[in-house]
Amino acid sequence: MKKKEIILLASTFILTSVVLYFFVFIYIFYVKGLQDIEIIKNKNEIEFIERYAKKLHHVRHYNNKYYKHNKVNELLFTEVQKHGSKKKFLFMGDSWFEQLIFYKNSSEEINTYFNKKKIDYINAAISSYSPTLITLQYKILKNDFKLNPNYVVVYIDQTDFGDEVCRYKKNRYFNKKTGKLEGVKDIYFLPRTSAFYNIANSSSHYLIKDFKMFNFFINERFRLIKNKTSRILNKDLNIYGCHISKILNNLINPSNEEILYFQDTIDLMLDTLVEDANIKKILVVTFPHRNNLKEIKNFNITRNRNNKETLKLDIFKKNKNTKNLVIKDFKINVADFVNSYIQKNNDKKILHLDFTKNFNLGEVDITDKSYKAGDPASHLDTKDHLNTFTKSIIVEIDNILKLHE
């Protein structure tokens, strides 16, 4: 190839790349917009997120479509009922307890209860929080915000197992001197938030700011593509999180190492709460997902022709020896880990509201319609979240209070 042809080819490539760059830039920033990106513009909020996401992996979403925070600390916890009472209840866990804030009927039910009792109620639940993050969060609430609850209600979800194994274990970091757990690194949310905030508050021209944001956005896309490619090649580099299929698969095919690890996270969390002399009672709540119950229709992860993961309701086949319909059941239930801790330690501080056990005893009614249609994480329908879940928890709390009056 002649020198002129090489120069022409190189020039064409560079020109095409530049035109494509500007075309994508204009489309993303001025046509489509950045609706899906949480750009934090308030200095206090970004400082709060930077401080705590470094230890807790993530805080509540800044742009939560269900719940708008009024104070910066509500990205971490909400003082729902504040009466100055000597009795303080702290709720911790994931989205199931966070729904107690934005599910209208469940929220009204539990708010009314604590309001009538004139008892302080703090909700610190955050989506995808599992035992490791709850342990770290509790220490922060005690040390940084001086929250000293007498009663802690903590929810452990079935997906916590997969979250711990696939999402948080590899991102933990420890004190070099003591070897104690210090935090869980945030790889995705915090870098984006910090970068966009710093760019937005720079003295550059607005076009320069847009170009800087766009360059960061493109670089991030390349990192995500690299991460996805690594997953496809079975290199297991899920540094930006794990797909729900991976999280559920950990429940279906857990290794002995994973089981022991998750038990350790439960033990550490409950040890931390039990050792707090100010806490009188700890109520642990667990609830079965679809695939924990043989009587409930199960979801199965499948792949379509485009290799995209989808969810379909399995076609049922009757087992010859039972009337139950069994397909793709979870092999473990997080309730067993809680029960194991209680049996080993025989600590009377801990009560376990085990909905799986109550279902098997016929004390609660859980049907296929109890769960949200098409939800692989088996969140409850708003009606059952109120009648089955929330009201049962209130009954347990009422019993606890009667014993300590």
Convert the pLDDT of each residue in 157-184 to its tens digit: 999 999 999 889 988 999 989 989 999 9
Sign of CA dihedral 352, 280, 344, 165: positive
- In sequence order, the 6+-apart residues with CB closer than 8 A to the CB of 253 are 331
pLDDT in tens, 177-230: 998 999 998 766 555 666 777 777 778 887 787 788 778 777 777 776 776 676
Q: Is the domain of 229 the same as that of 372? A: no
| pLDDT at residue 343 is higher than 90 | yes
Q: pLDDT at position 276, please?
A: 96
Residue 14 belongs to some domain of the structure: yes
Residue 183 belongs to some domain of the structure: no
Cα(361)–Cα(249) distance, integer angstroms: 28
Cα(339)–Cα(353) distance, integer angstroms: 10
262 closest CA partner among 252, 251, 248: 251
Q: Is the domain of 253 the same as that of 224? A: no
Give the three-class secondary structure for 80. strand
Q: What is the domain range of residue 9? A: 1-33
Asked whether the beta carbons of 173 and 185 are under 8 A apart, the reply is: yes
Residue 180 belongs to some domain of the structure: no
User: Which one of 289-298, 364-373, 382-391 scores highest in mean pLDDT?
Assistant: 382-391
Give the mean model confidence (pLDDT) for residues 60-71: 69
Q: Which residue has the higher pLDDT, 339 or 326?
A: 339
**Half-sphere exposure (Cβ direction) of 31: Cα atoms closer than 13 Å:** 7
Q: Is the domain of 275 the same as that of 303? A: yes
Count of beta carbons in the 10 Å neighbourhood of residue 5: 9
Q: Is the domain of 274 the same as that of 159? A: yes
Residue 176 belongs to some domain of the structure: no
| pLDDT at residue 339 is higher than 60 | yes
Give residue 37's pLDDT band: very low, low, confident or very high (50, 70, 90).
Answer: low
Cα(167)–Cα(262) distance, integer angstroms: 12
Q: pLDDT at position 299, please?
A: 56
**Half-sphere exposure (Cβ direction) of 339: Cα atoms closer than 13 Å:** 11
Q: Is the domain of 83 the same as that of 163? A: yes
Give the mean model confidence (pLDDT) for residues 344-358: 94
Residue 287 belongs to some domain of the structure: yes
Give the mean model confidence (pLDDT) for residues 328-352: 92
Buried b (16+ CB within 10 A) or exposed e, 155-182: bbbbbbbbbbbbbbeeebeeeeeeeebe
* DSSP H or E segment with residue 402: helix 391-403
pLDDT in tens, 284-333: 999 999 889 877 766 554 434 444 444 444 333 333 333 333 336 889 99
Q: pLDDT at position 200, please?
A: 73
Single pTM value for the model = 0.80
Q: pLDDT at position 28, please?
A: 67
Q: pLDDT at position 188, please?
A: 60
Q: Is the domain of 199 the same as that of 121? A: no
Q: pLDDT at position 173, please?
A: 92
95 closest CA partner among 46, 121, 133, 148: 133
- In sequence order, the 6+-apart residues with CB closer than 8 A to the CB of 170 are 238, 239
Q: Beta-strand (E) ranges in 266-379?
A: 281-286, 299-303, 309-313, 350-354
Residue 102 belongs to some domain of the structure: yes
Residue 143 belongs to some domain of the structure: yes
Asked whether the beta carbons of 246 and 236 are under 8 A apart, the reply is: no
Q: Is the domain of 134 the same as that of 86? A: yes
How many residues would you count in the chain?
405
Give the mean model confidence (pLDDT) for residues 27-55: 70
| pLDDT at residue 403 is higher than 90 | no
Please give the C-alpha separations between residue 111 and each of 84, 188, 279, 396, 403, in angstroms, as whole numbers.
15, 34, 21, 15, 21
Total domains in the chain come to 3
Both tokens assigned to 198: 């710093």
DSSP string, 124-190: ---TT--HHHHHHHHHHHHHTT----SEEEEEE-TTHHHIIIIIIGGGEEE-TTT--EEEE--SSHH
Q: Is the domain of 233 the same as that of 247? A: no
Q: Is the domain of 84 the same as that of 162? A: yes
CATH, residue 328: 3.40.50.1110
Q: pLDDT at position 302, please?
A: 42
Q: Is the domain of 355 the same as that of 332? A: yes
Q: What single-letter amino acid sits at 391?
A: K
Q: Is the domain of 398 the same as that of 264? A: yes
Both tokens assigned to 405: 């009056």
pLDDT in tens, 94-103: 999 999 998 9
Residue 177 belongs to some domain of the structure: no
Q: Is the domain of 248 the same as that of 296? A: yes
User: In the chain, what percentage of residues exceed pLDDT 70?
Assistant: 80
